[in-house]
Structures are given as C-alpha cells and as structure tokens.
Structure 1
C-alpha cells in the first residue's frame, strides 16, 4: 500500500501514485488487473484506471488484448537498465559475488530499500546446485531478516528516521525497538564483519542467512549483500563459520576496489 509522507508542497502526489502502480508488480505475476493493482496500492480503482492508461500510453506498461492484464512495458525495462548501469560498483561485484556463490554453493543476492521494504536487484546463483530460490524483484520485509538487520546497523540515524517516517503510524517501530536492534546488529558487524539470522518454521525468516552492508559511490543509503541457504542445523553452522566470513571478505574487497570507506565508519554521520 502506498504511504504518503508528511505534507510538503514539493511532493507530487500524482507522480507518487503512478510510481506506486509500477512498484505493485512482482516477479511471479503474470500480469495484473486494475482491481488487483488497486488492492495492492490502496488506491481507488478509478484512479488506478487513469494511471494505468497513462503509463500504458507512455510505454511503461503494456496491456494484453488476450486478457486485458497489465505487464511491465519496454520503456520501464529501458529505465531499469539505465539505472542498473549507473551502479558502477556492480561491475567489480559481479566477479566477486559469482565466485562466492560457486565456491560456497549459496545464493548471493543484493538488496536495496524500496519504501517500506527491501527489494532484490541482483542474484548470483551457484553452479551445479539445484535448490535455488529468490528472484530479482523479490521483496523482503524491513524486519527480522538478516538483510534488514544489516541495513539498520549501517544506516545513519537520519536515514533511519527517514525510513521510519514512511511507515503508517500504527507501525511506529518498523524495525522493532530501534536502538536495541541497531546496537545489537552493529556490535555483531563490528565483531564478525557480518550479521547472521537463523531461519526455520518458528523464526522470522524461512532460511539461514548472513548479510553485509555496503555503501556504493553516490548512493544515499547502504545496500546489502546476503547469502542464504536452507533452514537446517548443519547449514546454520556453516553459515556462521564459513559463508559469513567469506561474504564479509568479498564486500571488503569490493570496498577496496571501489575506493569506498568501511560502511560502519559512516553509520554515525
């Protein structure tokens, strides 16, 4: 659902609503109807109809004559490619993370914040491993998961305040008790170089995962690299003792290659 920020004359509400329509799509969708988009965004169906017609006219959405459902259009794909190309750190990250995935057998993903959630924008799949999960575009809640804890640990107080302002008033503490989560995850990052969150049926996340934040050139907030695997005890041990340190070293190498300071050194700015 779209969350509007506090009143500000500079805020273009119509633009925000149009972007919320684009953000309603998920990788597993085979098109969305106006009614489904309205349900996901919380916008009136009449408003959604006008927005989808406009976005379709501009090429950001396409509408199939077969089922009248909307899908991302070529203009949106082109904009995404331009945005991806502007993230220069992805060039050296490609080799580092692909090697890590192949050598550990774990899926490696890169997540960025998108409103009140994190979204995966890159995945590196290990070769010769059949149990692969998570796709580009997959949303991740800003709570519970190792990627969320890494983001909270690395973000500055001003960045976290900006994120918290986007949540409904009923979710005043979107990350849980903020100081405790930030301090605990920050201490874990300082001590080990990564955060680890166990997974399982009774845990916040369905799988064991380790995460390390990174601040790329010209990025307004930290992004997060994560390695995830299946929720069993042996896997959890390996995550902490082998894969977590390997991921931390890969991100440190990326910082050196891109000339970036340690992410944690900027968290109090």
Structure 2
C-alpha cells in the first residue's frame, strides 16, 4: 500500500484576509455568482510548490467549509481543471488551467514579444528576468528567464513574492489606479499588523516616492538581504491589465548602480516596444 505523504500545512500569514467571495458583489452593477467565486478560490489556493492538496488544506486556505470544498473539487475535476490523485487521496492542478493563461499571453503576440525581450535582457549577465501579475497581496511570476549561474532563490513560474517589499510589487502599486492602491494599502496594513505602522508603511511609501522620481521601482535587500531588483509596470495593450517586468539577482553581482546602468534601459525599451502592440505607449 502506497504511503500517503503528510499533507502540506496551510501557509498562514498574520492578518492575511481570507478570500472574501461575497465582498466583491458590493457596489457592482452586474450580478455576482458566489458559487463561481468559490470555485475560483479553490484554483487560487494552489501554489507553485504544491504537488497535491487535500480538501482539509483547501478548506483552511480558502476559509470555505470542507463540505463545500468537496463539492467544488468534484466539479472542477469533472471540468478537467483538477485531477484526482488516488495514490494520495488528494488533488493536483491539471494542465487545462494553462489554457486560460495561454489565451491571454497569445493575444496580439504579447507573450512572444515579452519572452523575446526578456531573453534579450537576460543576456546581460547573471540575473533573473521576471514577468509578474498580482495575486491578492503577492506578485506571481507568469514568465521567468534566468542565466544558469544566477541566484534564483528557488523561484519558478508560479512562485509568489510579497507585494510591499519586492520590486515587482512596488511597480504594480505605483501603476494601479488610486482606488485600487488605497484598497491594497488597507489590506497590507491588516496583513502586516504592527509591523505596518512601525516600518513597512514608511519603507513602501519611500519606495513609491522614489519610483515617482526615477521612473522605476527598486528593492535593494528589503525583500531578501542578498537580493537586489528593479522593475517597471507594463500594460496589456488590449485590456489595460497591469503586468510588471523586473530584473533581479544576487546583490554581490547586481549592485543598484549596475542594475540601473546596464538593465534599466532595456526594461524601458521593452515597455515601449510592447506598448506599440496596441498602438499606445506606457
């Protein structure tokens, strides 16, 4: 009999808001389908490092009742977005989920152009070039290109990094409209607790002020002490959705000066070229 591996403990964050599937219905003109929102919350609960998750872990991560989770994973499995793994008695995300992302990245040649520019930037040296999107209070990598010798901190496509401390997160916050930024700042305050007023808020506001002056975000040892990074926002030429394009790596190899001198011009050039896809600019 195959031994069932211990279920991964849910990753708890102090003050992290649960996935409030009802709040989004407020102040909206269109009907809100709670069952659909619950189903999406199940898919969002899976993280890059998760091989399989059971119903209890999914219930813990989403805040949904375990009975509700059982019904939802059954439906998602029938639709092909989850796959039941009988040897573990748990579920894994199916490759069908990828079809949703490719539909976005393939539009107007957006994904191909971004990847080409990322590869060009990565040729500069020992760095990691990442395309990210917001996932609640994190940024998630949807494309990642690295040199073999680059310090990647075990980051891969699907990995999440914190919004407040990272260059991609700060670039996103800067590019967000006032209403979204204000809402995110409130959620970050709740998430970080006492650390928010004591340090995090001041550091983040200082970072946003720097971006306003210099045109790019930065994080020099603030997320990880050995990691430096810079980033800029990109907008989908069709929908206007915000992505971020960033370059980072080992602080020993990538000083702030080198990042700005060698990599920043290529980031700006990539943003200009990608913006031309929709006839606009960034």
TM-score (norm. length: structure 2): 0.77
Which of 228, 235, 256 does residue 215 from structure 1 map onto?
235
- The aligned residue for residue 45 of structure 1 is 66
Aligned twin of 1:134: 155
- Gaps of at least 5 residues in structure 1 are 263-269
**Please, which of 16, 20, 44 is the counterpart of residue 3 of structure 1?**
20
> In the alignment, which residue of structure 1 is the partner of 2:15?
none
- Within 5 Å, which residues of 2 pair with 1:99-114? 99-114=120-135
Q: How many aligned residue pairs are there?
A: 255
CA distance in 1, matches of 2:278, 2:97: 29
Establish whether residue 228 from structure 1 lines up as the match of residue 248 from structure 2.
Answer: yes
Give the CA deviation at 1:23. Answer: 0.8
User: 1:238 maps to which residue?
Assistant: 258
Structure 1 residue 155 and structure 2 residue 176: aligned?
A: yes
Question: What do you get for the CA RMSD once the two structures are aligned?
Answer: 3.0
CA separation of 1:191 and 1:164: change in aligned 2, threshold 3 A: closer
Residue equivalent to 1:188: 210
Segments of 5+ residues of structure 2 without an aligned counterpart are 1-17
Partner residue in 2 for 1:266: none
- How far did 1:96 drift? 1.3
Which residue number corresponds to residue 32 of structure 1? 53
Residues 111 and 147, structure 1, Cα contact 8 Å, conserved in 2: yes
Name 1:204's counterpart in structure 2.
223
- 1:57 offset after TM fit, Å? 1.4
C-alpha distance in 2 between matches for 1:113 and 1:81: 17
Deviation per CA, 1:187-230: give whole Å up to 9, x if none: 5345433222111xxx3345211001111212343211011101
**SS at the partner of 1:232?**
coil
Q: CA deviation at 1:66?
A: 1.1
Mapped partners of 1:233, 1:74: distance in 2: 36
